[in-house]
Structure 1
Amino acid sequence: MKDSGTQGPADSELLKRISQRDETAMASLFDRYARIVYSVALRVLHDPAEAEDVMQEVLMQVWRGAPSFIVGRGSLGGWLTVVARNRAIDALRRRHPSDPVDEVMLPASVDLASEAERNTLMAKLRTIMHELPVEQQKSVEMAFFEGLTHSEIAEKTGNPLGTVKTRIRLALISLRKALQA
């Protein structure tokens, strides 16, 4: 049985196969969750290299601890985001032990119905994103998945700030219209 809105086997099946050291299952889990884990870590750390380290640590924790994850206690995605947040805060504290850590709020728990709805929505968003012009796609990805500001995107792409803002705004309008249809 597949998770609603996702491609490939259900999380429980992936965890079972990962427990048996199936590298293909781990690759599928990585493809499914690496971006969200990275995004959570980046929001806390504001450092892409450190966020990538946290992502790798979290996913290695899955590789090592798959047999101990109890599928019925909650969603794997929710657990991974909480672990990513906590690991990122730990990394931030190691970097600056005396600085206070800004609280990053994540949902306390996610029920299965809302998780399935979110997965369906994410699949639809991915499809819609692929239909956007390439420039809009790249701008949205840099803003929302890489955590870059509009100014940073303008600098990185060599485009004027107004162009970057317009591309993101048009992309968001297109996404909103497509989701409401």
Structure 2
Amino acid sequence: MTGRRARRSSGDEALIRSLYNEHGRAVLAYATRLTGDVAIAEDVLQETLIRAWRHPDVLTNGRGSVRGWLLTVTRNIVTDRARARSSRPAEVAESPGLAATGDHAQGVVDMITVLEALEQLSVEHREVLVQIYLQGRTVAEAAEELSVPPGTVKSRSHYALQALRRILGERGERTASRTGVMG
């Protein structure tokens, strides 16, 4: 380090130390009042002193009060931080109770499989399952919609579910034998 740079460095360090000793408490108190948080206020004080270190000429030119300049810089830093926080979405803490949701691809595959299996059922069986399970209707409502007695809806849904289970079971066995996975 050259002699001149070393003298400047020690002079800057002395300037910052004297600023901190003379004005640090006042700046910290002001920043704490503006932010309502001592930890944030300490960060603001540090940033204020860094700006003073970068612009020592402002402090030594004899115009205005040094404390006034430091307090103005402190207010500007707090204002800048508030504006920065309001310009981006609020951060949300991660909730430990919520697990990350997985890929929904398996759900899509399952839905396609069930829809293909439904296509293999007779029209009467498919209509009953659609009314009861997909439309959410009661047996009486499905009977009225399909113009059949409620007992017919019950028996058709029973046999339709048996057929659907058989079709899906066969499909699963074919898939397992193709992939080499046996359950």
TM-score under structure 1 normalisation?
Answer: 0.39
The higher-RCO structure (CA 8 Å, 6+ apart) is 1
TM-score under structure 2 normalisation?
Answer: 0.39
- Greater C-alpha Rg: 2
